[in-house]
Amino acid sequence: MWLATALRRLRGTTAGDDEPPLWVVLGHANALAAAAALRAGLDFSLDVPVRHGRVPLPTLGCAVLPVTEPWALATARADGGHATLTGPGGTVTLPPAGTPGPGWHPVRRLTVGPQGGRLDITLDDTDPYRTYPRPAEPRPLSADDTAHWRHLLERAWAVLLAGQPATADAMRRGLLSLTPTVARERFRPRSVTSGDAFGGVEASEPDDALQLAVTLVHEFQHVKLGGLLHLAPLLTPGTGADPPEWWYAPWRDDPRPVEGLLQGIYAFVGITRFWAGHRAVASEQNGLAHFEFALWRAQVARAVAEVRDHPRRTPLGAALLDTLAAHCARWLAEPVPAPWLELARLCADDHLARWRAHHRRPPAAAVDAAVRAWSQRAAVPPRAAAAEPEVVPSPSARWLDSLTVLVRYRLSGSDDDRVSPDGPEKRAARVTGALTGDALLSMGDPAAARHAYLTDLAADPGAPAAWAGLGSALDLSGTDPAAARLLRRRPELARAVHRALLNTSGTAPDPVRLADWLGALES
């Protein structure tokens, strides 16, 4: 990761005001050399960079010096087995490898699992190039935090050995380092890998061991695919002359290029396989496992179907997509109890509707034709209004998974309707981006959700989440089927026509009535 960063800096393709000076980046070569010399037991003297008072030596650890400048130099020296780091303000003596000492934080290695199934991994909190895509300064963990991560990893590894033994065996060889970062909002962990750093995973502190197990599966899929892409392409290069191609990725808020969509497909194939195995070993009443399996098998199958015949796929890419499609077909044939299957369908369709409401833009001519017909009290909308919308990425699209997160609260047992005193407003407030209607939908009250979404639209007629949520509420309640169908399939059209009517007449039409009228286009 350091080498890729250094090459990009030398080529001028990355540079920012908050990045270290080039001499600090290139000086990391000296830190590598010093670490190698220390491991080999050589006598040497080398100048190495000091980053905000910290001197990282890759694979060994990090020294802390009383330095006030952001960037400085220290001298690493070894003589007859005695090693020191001396910089402005003081000297740190390096203890034996793996041992902490005054001013010295060793690299931590965690070994978990039984004999024959052990995972040996670096818990990396000191190397500046442990984070992706940008470096981060060393942040040594406390002893308590290290113990907490060890406990989580032990339990997550037990989950993987029980439900995913083949994947766990591969991880023992291909998962090399885990970089911990701070916890995120519940059910919304952040994790990342880089094709430049095979075997490295960066992950936020998980909610629990099960979430960490899923995260490791997810990122190990990226690790494997990244390694494959260094050997052979899945897609032929684009010409550069065509406009950018944007695709719906059911696990993202933003539209993705086809290369990014393939990465996501492969990652979520792993997640679907995880839940398929986990629900087999979990309790029959484990609704969360059934829900996650049903959700991700549908989302992956949808994405694979979209790109399976992409004209740029190579023979290897076509073979891979055919194999993944076969996995999806087998998973889709597996039975899932009806309550959790319906919740998964609700969340999958709701996410797509929110994505469309944000990123799909109907042609102006189509909107104008619908506005004229509505204003003239036409019985049905014109066919011109059904013109295909274009994808226009919207930076406002965030937290499209809000309904799904609320459902996870409910299925995890942390949001029990029978004992929780919280009303829908408080439930929604716990999930960033969630609306009151989302909480009501997750609680199984579509009639109240409909009212809540209409209240939101009265206050903000352009709210994409409210348009999509209204479609979900109408669909669940079984009322206004034409409006429900239109809002679940083309919420962007109702939103655009509603906004145009409001702008031209100054009066907002009833959203359900307008969607019901436009729904004739879906019949």
pLDDT digits (tens, 9 = 90+) for 106-158: 999 999 999 999 999 999 999 999 998 888 989 999 999 999 999 999 999 99
pLDDT of 102 reads 95
Distance in angstroms (rounded) separating the CA atoms of residues 467 and 462: 8
Mean pLDDT to the nearest integer, 250-279: 96
Which pair of tokens denotes residue 471? 């479609």
Residue of 411, 416, 487 lying closest to 446 (CA atoms):
487
Half-sphere exposure of 67 (CA within 13 A, CB side): 23
Count of positions (residues) in the chain: 523
pLDDT tier at 419 (50, 70, 90 boundaries)?
Answer: very low
Give percent of the chain with pLDDT exceeding 70: 97
Which pair of tokens denotes residue 154? 């032990």
Mean pLDDT to the nearest integer, 232-254: 90
Distance in angstroms (rounded) separating the CA atoms of residues 282 and 297: 18
Question: Cα 27 vs. chain centroid, distance in angstroms?
Answer: 33
Asked if residue 451 has pLDDT above 90, the reply is: yes
Asked if residue 282 has pLDDT above 80, the reply is: no
Q: What angle do CA 281, 301, 172 make, to 5 degrees?
A: 50
pLDDT of 16 reads 64
Q: Are 1 and 32 in contact (CB under 8 A)?
A: no
Task: Give the tens place of pLDDT for each residue, 20-39.
Answer: 999 999 999 999 999 999 99
Q: Are 191 and 202 in contact (CB under 8 A)?
A: yes
Q: What are phi and psi of 82, to 5 degrees?
A: -100, 120
Distance in angstroms (rounded) separating the CA atoms of residues 30 and 50: 12
Mean pLDDT computed over every residue of the chain: 94
Mean pLDDT to the nearest integer, 304-311: 95
Asked if residue 465 has pLDDT above 90, the reply is: yes
Q: What are phi and psi of 249, to 5 degrees?
A: -110, 115
Give percent of the chain with pLDDT exceeding 90: 89
pLDDT of 417 reads 47
Which pair of tokens denotes residue 247? 């695709």
Which pair of tokens denotes residue 69? 């400048």
pLDDT of 492 reads 98
Q: Are 351 and 472 in contact (CB under 8 A)?
A: no
Asked if residue 513 has pLDDT above 60, the reply is: yes
Distance in angstroms (rounded) separating the CA atoms of residues 22 and 3: 13
Asked if residue 418 has pLDDT above 50, the reply is: no
139 in helix, strand or coil?
coil
Distance in angstroms (rounded) separating the CA atoms of residues 226 and 300: 19
- CA atoms 169, 172, 175, 179: torsion sign: positive
Distance in angstroms (rounded) separating the CA atoms of residues 325 and 48: 51
pLDDT of 19 reads 83
Distance in angstroms (rounded) separating the CA atoms of residues 327 and 331: 6
Distance in angstroms (rounded) separating the CA atoms of residues 296 and 214: 12
Asked if residue 9 has pLDDT above 70, the reply is: yes
